[in-house]
Amino acid sequence: MKKSLLFLIVVMLVVSFGFAKVYRVGTSAGFPPFEYVEKGEYVGFDMDLMREMAKEMDFEIEIIDMSFDSLIAGLVSGNLDIIAAGMTITDQRAKVVDFSDPYWTADQSISVKEDSDLTITVLFGDHNIGVQTGTTGDLWVEEHLEKTGILTGRYKRYDTFVLAMTDLVNGNLDAVVLDSPVADRFAKVRPVKTIGVIKSDEKYGLAVRKGNSKLLETINEGLKRLEENGTIDELIAKYF
């Protein structure tokens, strides 16, 4: 009896110390430069941030790609342990998940076709506006433009911002409202331009299940160390 108990304890110790914990990191890999797929690999600022953090804090990660608006449900239901998806910390989301310390600041950009002479008045009246479903851009347009009746044209939601931008380039939309770092980066490679910025001053955070304070502490400690040892600066230089 005693022997078997001892054996069990040894096994448990080996299991808990011998193998690093594997966390399932949910992302939506169509959000360059934060997360995207290149040569079959998940790359981008958030993806490298998570890999570097895993090394620093001694855990392993498995990256799981899904639509942005399924991420919170995935975390709450236990299919994910962490969300790393350029996700803005909002009061609404913080009711259902716990956010890390902020690691990025963004605003909302208004993008139009490169050859367009539309101005920020594109947000008013009979114009067609596109957003990515469930994002802060979506919420902003809905709350400030659609519900108020300021926008009377078509308001269209897309699974990814790239689909919205493609409709913009094809002339099916007049403007897209999207996180500024992502819009700026996109404007470098496709014929779109930013004509205005909505100063939303939003902060990106990593998210964990509510009450998972141990993992949250690990993540915040990881962010702090990567900030202090210059890794975050290296990643900024690499992706921006």
- For the record, the structure tokens of 49 come out as 């941030």
* Shortest Å, Cβ 1 to ligand GLN: 54
C-alpha 21/C-alpha 114 separation (Å) is 47
Among 100, 111, 135, 180, indicate the residue that binds ligand GLN (CB under 6 A). Answer: 135
C-alpha 164/C-alpha 167 separation (Å) is 5
Among 179, 186, 192, 209, indicate the residue that binds ligand GLN (CB under 6 A). Answer: 179
By CB under 6 A, which span of 85-93, 113-121, 209-217, 220-228 interacts with ligand GLN? 85-93
Antiparallel, parallel or unpaired: β 60-65 and 41-43 = unpaired
CB nearer to ligand GLN: give 68 or 103.
Answer: 68
Q: Are 26 and 83 in contact (CB under 8 A)?
A: yes
* Shortest Å, Cβ 86 to ligand GLN: 4
Other C-beta atoms lying within 10 Å of the C-beta of residue 217: 13
* Shortest Å, Cβ 96 to ligand GLN: 14
**β-sheet bridge partners, residue 98:** 208
By CB under 6 A, which span of 6-14, 129-137, 208-216, 224-232 interacts with ligand GLN? 129-137
CB nearer to ligand GLN: give 88 or 218.
Answer: 88
Q: Between residue 17 and residue 46, which ones bind ligand GLN under the rule CB under 6 A?
A: 28, 31
Q: Are 176 and 111 in contact (CB under 8 A)?
A: yes
Name 135's Cβ contacts closer than 8 Å, sequence gap at least 6: 68, 88, 161, 178, 179
By CB under 6 A, which span of 73-81, 109-117, 130-138, 168-176 interacts with ligand GLN? 130-138
Told to check if 85 binds ligand GLN by CB under 6 A, we report yes
Taken as a whole, the chain contains a residue count of 240
* Shortest Å, Cβ 207 to ligand GLN: 10
Antiparallel, parallel or unpaired: β 175-179 and 104-113 = antiparallel
- Interface ranges with ligand GLN (CB under 6 A): 28, 31, 68, 85-88, 132, 135-136, 179
